[in-house]
Chain A
Amino acid sequence: MSFNLNEFLKSLVSLTVSDYLRQLWGDQLWVGLVLDILGVVIISTFCLLIVIFLIWLERKVIARIQQRIGPNRVGGRYGLLQTVADVIKLLIKEDITPMGADRVAYWLAPFLIVMAALIVWAIMPFAPGVIGVDLNIGVFFFLAISSVSVVSLLLAGWGSNNKYALLGAFRSVAQLVSYEVPMILALLVPILLARSMSTVSIVAAQTVPFLLVVPLAALIFFISSLAETGRTPFDLLEAESEIVAGFHVEYGGMKFGMFFLAEFVNTLFMSGFFATVFLGGYRFFGLENLVIGDGWAVGNLIGLVVFFVKMFAVYFVYIWIRGTLPRVRVDQILNYNWKFLVPVSLVLVMVTAVLDKFIPESFSAYARAGAHLTANVLIALVTIEILRAYARRQRRLTGGDSGLAVTAAEDHAHQETAVHHEPAAAH
């Protein structure tokens, strides 16, 4: 097959250049290797470069939430080059290894955390046909690789020879490891509905986005992904006001930059993954399959844009939460996980599995979605009712003080008016 400019441009528009080149060069081993290496480099470079934008975005949005202006000096009115300046500053800092540090662990940790943050992007479907590799165990691959970051946090905390760092590492192990359980259970629900672990099949199965089918699973996944990426309100592994910066307090220069980078890449991945699994990924009312003229598949380009819009919408919610909520205590975090999220997600998986078998095959996708949605709403209502009863009992036992954020004034009023009255804060 010889080179054809028209065909090449078509493959460029439909974002399937690698398929075209594979056809052009033949199906030999070196062709596969070269194209795969190119894919790795493109995905990784994209991840590293977009962090520059993400940090700027986060600072700007948080500043606006807190009624500040944010970076506005370096790089024009909007401070667009602020992060570039920060990167240059980090590059020319002295590279210090603290005395008494476990050198192997200390140096391995920043590498391991970035590697784990990059490799998970292999299974992210950006647009139809645009994916690193469509593994048939995609979701499982993500769960397996993302657990590696726990190891690197422990290595960093242990290797630094610093008490603050060690405390941060302990907390991170307790927290990240705990929240992995509801995350796994919540991800079982979309896998069950799509009957596949491949991310592409999960996107293909979402005639109705899974957010509208199983909103409870989406909520549980979202909360545990907040904890997994160590973001506010679950950022106590690096709580600045308690243990300075936790596990990375002894790191400086670019080694510190690597932890920072991994955190942002991970958060972006989680938003992209949420968009893929619960918001329908690149799907947008069939527009992603649009073909104009003789084979100009512009739909793939539309799919890419749709995916990015969804991903950044979720990312914005992450920033929003960071700008709004305070940090919670370690015992509250663990109780919330083991005594609330895990039981609820266990019930959810069980109910979804049994219910989906009882829905007849003849039902349309919409009827199916409606049945699951009803079940989800019922589970949510029952959960709220149980929590309400529990809070009421707690209040009766402790004489009005529920141990929750009820102020003294509210409490007083509550006792005066009626026993059945519920302060809003108790829910």
Chain B
Amino acid sequence: MSQDWQFVALFLILSPIFPAAPVILNHLLGPKKPNPIKQQTYECGIETVGSSWVQFKVQYYVYALVFVIFDVEAVFLFPIAAAYGQLTLFGVFAAALFIFLLADGLAYAWGRGALEWI
């Protein structure tokens, strides 16, 4: 068991090397002649008006919220699916009820207009 995670841990430790090698090589090989115009933000040749860190549509936030609810609840379905062989019929109906509640949540969000792109 811990043997398994040893591989994942090693992968996690070693994996930065693979993107780092070409980026560092690029840093060494490329020319270095910075000037103010070159370092400007890219915007069709016109200077950017105002700050780039602007307010965003609240709609994105609503979708993110719906996602969080769904994702957290879906996590509970994984153990049920993996242990499906040991489940009794009652357990399966309980799981189906759980999914039904998920669907109800979706219907609620849908009915409240949270899924309309304005």
Binding site for B on A (CB under 8 A): 32-33, 36-37, 39-41, 44, 48, 90-100, 110-111, 114-115, 118-119, 122, 132-137, 139-141, 158, 160-166, 170, 173-174, 177-178, 180-181, 184-185, 188, 191-192, 195-197, 244, 249-250, 253-255, 257-258, 261, 330-331, 334-335, 338-339, 342-343, 346-347, 349-350, 353-354, 356-357
Contacts and interface: CB of A to CB of B under 8 A. Distances in A.
A338 B52 contact: no
A122 B106 contact: no
In the A-B complex, the 8 residue pairs with the smallest Cβ-Cβ separation, listed nearest first, are A331-B117, A254-B26, A114-B19, A133-B7, A191-B81, A195-B85, A192-B81, A115-B15
29 contacts: A91-B26, A92-B30, A94-B32, A99-B39, A99-B40, A100-B52, A110-B19, A133-B4, A133-B8, A135-B8, A140-B78, A161-B41, A162-B52, A164-B42, A181-B67, A181-B70, A188-B74, A191-B82, A192-B84, A197-B78, A250-B42, A253-B23, A254-B22, A254-B26, A255-B26, A334-B115, A338-B63, A339-B110, A354-B96
Interface string B1-15: 001101110111011
A94 B16 CA distance: 22
Interface residues of B, number: 69
A350 B99 contact: yes
Interface of B: 3-4, 6-8, 10-12, 14-16, 18-20, 22-23, 25-27, 29-34, 36, 38-43, 48, 52-54, 56-57, 59-60, 63-64, 66-67, 70-71, 74, 77-78, 81-85, 87, 89, 92-93, 95-96, 99-100, 102-103, 106, 109-110, 115, 117
A275 to B, nearest CB: 21
Contacts of B32: 94-95
Contact of B42 (A100, A158, A244): A244
A195 B39 contact: no
Contact of A111 (B16, B70, B92, B99): B16
Q: Secondary structure of the A side of the interface?
A: helix
A99 B78 contact: no
A356 B54 CA distance: 51
A177 B54 contact: no
A334 B8 contact: no
B36 A99 contact: yes
A122 B9 CA distance: 11
Contact of B60 (A48, A91, A174): A174
A113 B54 CA distance: 24
B103 A164 contact: no
Given A170-B56, A195-B85, A346-B99, A98 B41 contact: yes
A122 B11 contact: yes
B7 A132 contact: yes
B102 A346 contact: yes
